Structure 1
Amino acid sequence: MTVALGEADLPMIRSRRSSAVARGDRRPWTFYALAVVFTLYVAALYGPMICIYILSFQDIRGGLVFPMKGQSLHWFIDLFTQVRTGDVKGSFDRSIKLAALVTVITLVVSLMAGLAFRRRFFGDTVVFYLMIGSLVAPGLVLGLGIGLLFQWIGISPSWYTSALGAQLSWTLPFGVLVMFAVMSRFNSVWEEAARDLGATRWQTIRLVVIPVLAPGLVAVALFGFTLSYDEFARTLQTSGSLNTLPLEIWSMTLNVTSPSLYALGTVTTIVSFVIIGACIGAIIVINKRRGVRATGH
């Protein structure tokens, strides 16, 4: 027999829980052991990053190790004003432009793939495995192959040609997989209702499909941007003579021995968090508007 619990039963449940704690009932030792392991994991994951952020705010006397010497924004200013630290402005500009281009292409192709794979067609399994096959290929090898391919067809490797192709081989599989998950929850009844009301195929996609899939499309765009913005292995062999930001950071580790390198890491992290926060905020706003429309107030 199933007993339904209501709000009136909550005080009784809380009182029983309090009495159990008072009697000395405690969690098993495995809970505390796992808590320690998790704490160590978080410390190992975020500890080095926090150290870099702290050391980037030193003054001109600062070094690469603790103890921290003073507090200032000197190394952030030095990062964007001194040429000796590297082409930070140019590499950042190229990375942002490349990531934006990759995001748009990934978003469009993923949406098209999600719409196409709702129905079976001849060779769909082969097409699917070809799309995700690049995930299992080593990034350096794949990037080298793409660079050689562009040279063979007469296109010089650069950040907007071969590097774009190399990064799309990395972002498209993730975008398609996310879109498949989103499309699995899409109800085709909404499309049928739109067509019954006289909407064309394009109007159905523009006014029904895309608004319903908007949170998932934002997630695909976030994947595309972040994967492109931080990509190193595939870009190393395909960017040509001009570095993207990850490549510039890597080259700076070879000749820069000042906290300006830490400042660069802090700036790139802030940019990543701003993009992630904007995408999460967009999803929240979309869901809130959708809830308002559903309730009517």
Structure 2
Amino acid sequence: MTDTALFAAAARPRTRAIAPSRGRRPWTFYALATVFVAYVIALYGPMVCIYILSFQDVKGGLVFPMKGLSLHWFIDLFTQARTGDVKGSFSRSIKLAAMVTVITVVVSFISGLAFRRRFWGDTVIFYLMIGSLVVPGLVLGIGTGLLFTALGWEASWYTSALGAQLSWTLPFGVLVMFAVMSRFDQAWEEAARDLGASPWQTIHMVIVPILAPGLVAVGLFGFTLSYDEFSRTLQTAGSLNTLPLEIWSMTLNVTSPALYALGTVTTIVSFLAIGACLAVIFVMQRRRAGSAPAH
């Protein structure tokens, strides 16, 4: 072998095949896998059982084994008066959740703007905003109902229930907004002012578009928390039930899979709302990435 060949052989990168490990996994892997599987079963098992039993035929009952397969109980849910005021309660819950969502987004956004700079009493105001998180929901609902009674106001799903639910959604919205605001670069705001934008134009054309995914997340929190809220609504909804209250009342007098069908429908609505918000956030991020200048 010549000197050139020896030099080339020495300079060639040497790789050593790594033999795949043939040893068994440690016992901790199987122990943790068992705990994880048990957790998933405990988390989703009850919901899956309700979804399956809601698709029984007219002979179906509240327990397994499942009898037949049909959409009978979904049709019965919206046609039979004996199942309760499903349409009305569903409509009220959607309207209430929409109002809560709008107010939560607006107040959380304003709070995020206000708390970017320190001001006198900001710590006290912050703890007052999140203080309702540590109060039991049922106690806060009772207090809200008593307050409306003492003031001579009528308790209803769009007044007292709205106030009680905002005490639950606003702290979450404000905390999420603070996390979003912490990543906001104020140089963009200063650049808009340097270009002659008014304060309203800066908010409308710079701050809101940049923070739009975070605002959608705050809205999602407000909608889902309101749509499923029971304890804070129980003593404040007045004579007309929201959907969670209607489901609770149905457990006292409905002994058919129609109750399971209602649970399935409400879950579908929740997943549709979550999916819609995630889709909006995804589209916003894609547009933002597409409009970003290439370096």
TM-score by length of 2: 0.93
Amino acid at match of 2:71: L
Q: Percent identity?
A: 77
What is the 5 A alignment of 1:1-297? 16=18, 19-21=19-21, 24-295=22-293
> In the TM superposition, what is the alpha-carbon distance from 1:152 to its structure 2 partner?
1.4
C-alpha distance in 1 between matches for 2:52 and 2:113: 47
Deviation of 1:163 (Å): 0.1
Which residue identity does 2:263 align to in structure 1? G
Alignment RMSD: 1.3
Separation in structure 1 between the aligned mates of residue 56 and residue 293 of structure 2, nearest angstrom:
53
Q: Deviations over 1:254-276 (max 9, x none)?
A: 00000000000000000000000
1:295: how far off?
A: 4.3
User: C-alpha offsets along residues 170-220 of structure 1, whole Å, 9 cap, x if unaligned?
Assistant: 000000000000000000000000000000001000000000001100100
**C-alpha distance in 2, partners of 1:288/1:31?**
38
Q: Secondary structure at the match of 1:213?
A: helix
User: How far off is 1:25 after superposition?
Assistant: 3.3
One-letter amino acid matched to 1:20:
P
* Alpha-carbon distance in structure 2 between the residues aligned to 1:203 and 1:184: 21
AA of the residue aligned to 1:201: P
Count of aligned pairs between the two proteins: 281
Greater Rg, structure 1 or structure 2?
2
- The TM-score normalised by the length of structure 1 is 0.93
Structure-2 separation of matches of 1:295 and 1:111: 28
- Report the equivalent of 2:5: none
SS for the counterpart of 2:143 is helix
2:8 corresponds in structure 1 to: none
2:3 corresponds to which residue? none
Q: Return the offset for 1:29.
A: 1.3
Cα deviation digits, residues 4-32 of structure 1 (max 9, x gap) = xxxxx9xx79x63xx232xx234321111
Distance 1:181 1:63 in 2: 47
Partner residue, 2:7: none
SS of aligned partner of 1:38: helix
Tell me the distance in 1 between the aligned counterparts of 2:99 and 2:119.
30
How many Å separate the matches in 1 of 2:23 and 2:201? 62
- Which runs of 5 or more residues in structure 2 are unaligned? 1-12
Q: Which runs of 5+ in 1 are unaligned?
A: 1-8
